[in-house]
Amino acid sequence: MTQADDALAKKRFFAITSMRLMGAIFVAVGFVLIRGGWELAGQPTDRWLGVAVVLIGAFDFAVMPLLLARRWRSPKDL
């Protein structure tokens, strides 16, 4: 691997790790909204916003890193 390949791999690793971290933070914030810890628009709107944030966070945490890894996968030489 060259220096450029190493730098690109580090950037991609950072992007995937950041995606997982942001997904986990979204899930935590969503649960706080569902519980009523923060008041944004008042209940029950906050609960629905919390559910939406949890679903987005779960998608960011579980699915997006897999999609990014598949997109960035090295081609197999045959």
Is 27 contained in some domain?
yes
Does any domain span residue 8?
no
Specify if 53 maps to a domain.
yes
Say yes or no to pLDDT of 19 above 60: yes
**Structural domains of the chain, count:** 1
| Structural tokens at position 68 | 């990014």
Domain carrying residue 33:
17-71
Report the distance separating Cα 33 and Cα 64, nearest Å: 23
Could you tell me the pTM of the whole model?
0.84
pLDDT digits (tens, 9 = 90+) for 38-75: 888 888 999 999 999 999 999 999 999 999 999 998 77
User: Does some domain include residue 23?
Assistant: yes
Comparison of pLDDT for 16 and 78, the residue scoring more: 16
Does 7 fall in a domain? Answer: no
Let me know: does 26 contact 57? Beta carbons within 8 Å. yes
Distance from C-alpha of 26 to C-alpha of 60, rounded to nearest angstrom: 9
> Is position 5 within any domain?
no
Q: Is residue 3 part of a domain?
A: no
76 three-state secondary structure? coil
